[in-house]
Amino acid sequence: MREQEFLRAALTPDAPVPAGLVTPTGQPAERRFNVYRNNIVVSLKDALSAAFPAIQTLVGDAFFAAMAGKYIRAHPPKSPILPLYGADFPQFIARFEPAGNLPYLADVAHLEVSLRNSYHAADSRPVPPAELSDPLLFTRKVVLAPTVFWLASRYPVTQLHGFASGGEKPAGGGEDVLITRPEFDPLATAFPTGTIAVLEALRDGIALGEAAELAPKTLDLTKFLGTLLSGGAIIDIQEV
Amino acid sequence: MLDQTKHLPAGVGVGYKSKHFSNILQEDHPVKWLEIHAENYMGAGGRPLAQLRALSDRFPISVHGVGLSIGGEGRLDAEHLARLKHLTDALDPASFSEHLAWSTHDAGYFNDLLPLPYTEDTLTRVCDHIDEVQDTLGRQMLLENPSSYLAFAESTMGEVAFLRQVVQRTGCGLLLDVNNVFVSANNLSLDPHEYIDSFPHEAVGEIHLGGHDEDHDEDGAPLLIDSHGREVADPVWHLYTYTLATGGPKPTLIEWDTDVPEWDILAAEAGRAALRLEQVLA
């Protein structure tokens, strides 16, 4: 009995049990084999539930279980680090036809992946506030913390995420989302569409002042910089 | 390589869950050490590792791997073994253990402890893998007996004989999961006391206790499932007492991984084990 054969049967609900797997009386172990079938799918589904609570709330438990089941069979984990399983679940959701009437769903999943990435990202030391009052700050480039992530959505994705945990009904349109990790708990903050251009410029080593010029007119620059600073997002200031 | 100096204390530990972090630090409980699942601490940083650092200052830690696939047909995942080495080097835990099972195949990682037949071929393979683990980590490992739901027609030896051979050939220790013994004995119509009687207790570095669920197979025979989601069953407590009387006191872990209860309930389970352990130590 080879692993290949065991797995193929375990991942195919109605497949016959591989020969040689027996009960104490030597009979084919049908019902007993189902324990493994069940454990594999249930434990991986539970891992996705833990990682995508907002998606589960938005689509309901039954739909989530069905969608997760399809994903698990098509994309089993590539590594035993289960807390990071499902990194490409958002892309799967985007192509999952039964969810086609919820076009924002993949973006909410992308937000959940980004929050999780930030949660597990490396620790770093933010620059002390005194250094941030340097009058030449805007001519310098900044190094962003590994905990900083961002995404753009055509939907009010932070509101949809908040709605799933009991918040207000979402209103408005697209947003760019900045994720920071003040200490251990990641925080998603919504900014106007186009804000990501500033973050990409900072990541690429453009001076702060020059990057800020890329901001959309509606961006509250004070709030934006405040979010970066209070989120410990700047870990070094360097000459351009 | 055999690291006997930093062993777990002969008291009771619990499987660590982050929701119990502050309860554990209060130390008004019978828990003397903690066990973590290695794979939950392989992120780059953040709260999980910060909590682990804080706990390891106060408690001996047992690192319990669930994803190495030691019983697998293929080679061990070198990347995963390197991650384990990174974790055990950083933490210098009191113990490292893994399972007599497989979970990884070419197609991926299946997050279950899947069974293997006990033959000369699988014995050689398991021993090669354990040699590689112990050489890489630079420390002795403990190998845990699995829960079985079915048997392999091709097996040529019993589980205890298999484990005994593994110990002789690799110098590894054993983690004796008493609930698994009870579950497997029920499911395979074996006598759990005979299993305990024949077990090489001198190699045992740790005991596991956990809860199981009850189901039935197609013939109506009871089928026990190792779920770690409830209190330890009464007959498993009896088997634990028998195990201590047979093999002597050993560091004992309460495992509770699904439907994790409030701390008081888990601490009470630890207290039950501590009472039995103290009776043997006295």
With beta carbons less than 8 A apart as the criterion, state whether B33 and B9 touch: yes
* B277 inside domain: yes
pLDDT of residue B277: 96
The parent domain of residue B235 ranges over 12-281
Q: Which residue in chain B has the smallest CA separation from A182?
A: B46
Percent of chain B at pLDDT above 70?
98
CB of A3 within 8 Å of a chain B CB? The answer is yes
What are the pLDDT digits (tens) for B111-165?
999 999 999 999 999 999 999 999 999 999 999 999 999 999 999 999 999 999 9
SS3 content of chain B, % helix, strand, coil (to 5): 45, 20, 35
Between B104, B189, B225, which is nearest A24 by CB?
Answer: B189
What are the pLDDT digits (tens) for A7-23?
999 999 889 999 999 99
Cross-chain Cβ contact A35/B223 below 8 Å: yes
A29 has pLDDT over 50: yes
Q: Which residue in chain A has the smallest CA separation from B216?
A: A31
CATH number of the structural domain spanning residue B110: 3.20.20.150
Residues 7-66 in A contacting B (C-alpha not used; CB under 8 Å): 7, 10, 19-24, 26-27, 29-33, 35-36, 39-40, 43-44, 46-47
Ordered by where they begin, the domains of chain A are: 1-102 (no CATH), 120-240 (3.90.930)
Cross-chain Cβ contact B187/A32 below 8 Å: yes
Cross-chain Cβ contact A79/B225 below 8 Å: no
Average pLDDT, chain A: 95
| Residues in chain B closer than 8 A to A2 (CB atoms) | 73
CB of A226 within 8 Å of a chain B CB? The answer is no
CA–CA separation, B80 and A78 (whole Å): 11
Question: What is the mean predicted confidence (pLDDT) over B260-275?
Answer: 98
CA–CA separation, B98 and A207 (whole Å): 50
Question: What is the mean predicted confidence (pLDDT) over A14-34?
Answer: 92
What are the pLDDT digits (tens) for B211-240?
999 999 888 889 999 999 999 999 999 999
Average pLDDT, chain B: 95
Give the full edge-to-edge strand order of the sheet including A149-153: A149-153, A175-180, A187-191
Percent of chain A at pLDDT above 70?
100
φ, ψ of residue A173 in degrees (nearest 5): -110, -140
Q: Which residue in chain B has the smallest CA separation from A30?
A: B218
A57 has pLDDT over 80: yes
pLDDT of residue B5: 45
φ, ψ of residue A140 in degrees (nearest 5): -100, 160
* B6 inside domain: no
CA distances from A174 to A89, A160, B168 (A): 21, 11, 64
| Residues in chain A closer than 8 A to B112 (CB atoms) | 36, 39-40, 43
pLDDT of residue B4: 44
pLDDT of residue B217: 85
Cross-chain Cβ contact B108/A146 below 8 Å: no
With beta carbons less than 8 A apart as the criterion, state whether A2 and B73 touch: yes
Question: Given pLDDT bands bounded at 50, 70 and 90, which one contains residue B6?
Answer: low
* B123 inside domain: yes
Helices (H), B77-144: 78-91, 120-137
Cross-chain Cβ contact A84/B43 below 8 Å: yes
* B1 inside domain: no
CA–CA separation, A230 and A160 (whole Å): 24
* B2 inside domain: no
Q: Which residues are B98's β-sheet partners?
A: B143
| Residues in chain B closer than 8 A to A48 (CB atoms) | none
* B258 inside domain: yes
Q: Find all residues with CB under 8 Å of A46, minimum gap 6, and list them.
A: B258
Residues 193-212 in A contacting B (C-alpha not used; CB under 8 Å): none
| Residues in chain B closer than 8 A to A1 (CB atoms) | 117, 152, 154
Per the structure block, which two tokens stand in for A96?
A: 């999952």
Percent of chain B at pLDDT above 90?
92
Q: Which DSSP symbol is given to B68?
A: S
Cross-chain Cβ contact A81/B48 below 8 Å: no
pLDDT of residue A142: 95
Return the sign of the alpha-carbon dihedral for residues B241, B244, B246, B251. positive
CB of A2 within 8 Å of a chain B CB? The answer is yes
| Residues in chain B closer than 8 A to A78 (CB atoms) | 108-109
| Residues in chain A closer than 8 A to B189 (CB atoms) | 24
Question: Given pLDDT bands bounded at 50, 70 and 90, which one contains residue A181?
Answer: very high
Q: How many pairs of residues across A and B have Cβ atoms under 8 Å apart? A: 142
Between A6, A32, A43, which is nearest B111 by CB?
Answer: A43
Which residue, among A48, A82, A185, would best test binding to B if mutated, counting the most B CBs under 10 Å from its CB? A82
What are the pLDDT digits (tens) for A99-150?
999 999 999 999 999 999 999 999 999 999 888 888 888 999 999 999 999 9
Between B108, B154, B223, which is nearest A77 by CB?
Answer: B108
CA distances from A36 to A31, A79, B141 (A): 10, 19, 26
Q: Which residue in chain B has the smallest CA separation from A46?
A: B258
A1 has pLDDT over 80: no
* B67 inside domain: yes
B2 has pLDDT over 70: no
Per the structure block, which two tokens stand in for B278?
A: 């103290």
Q: Helix, strand, or coil here: B2?
A: coil
| Residues in chain B closer than 8 A to A16 (CB atoms) | none
CB of A162 within 8 Å of a chain B CB? The answer is no
Per the structure block, which two tokens stand in for B161?
A: 């004989």
Q: Which residue in chain B has the smallest CA separation from A81?
A: B39
| Residues in chain A closer than 8 A to B46 (CB atoms) | 119-121, 123, 147, 181, 184
* B5 inside domain: no
With beta carbons less than 8 A apart as the criterion, state whether B93 and B61 touch: yes
Nearest of A56, A125, A46, A33 to residue A82 by alpha carbon: A46
- How close, in Å, is residue A169 to chain B by CA atoms? 30
With beta carbons less than 8 A apart as the criterion, state whether B216 and B187 touch: no
| Residues in chain B closer than 8 A to A19 (CB atoms) | 153
φ, ψ of residue A28 in degrees (nearest 5): -55, 135
Nearest of B219, B208, B80 to residue B147 by alpha carbon: B208
| Token pair 């560091």 in the structure block, residue | B251
Total structural domains in chain B? 1
Question: What is the mean predicted confidence (pLDDT) over B59-70?
Answer: 97
Cross-chain Cβ contact B114/A6 below 8 Å: yes
Q: Which residue in chain B has the smallest CA separation from A22?
A: B151
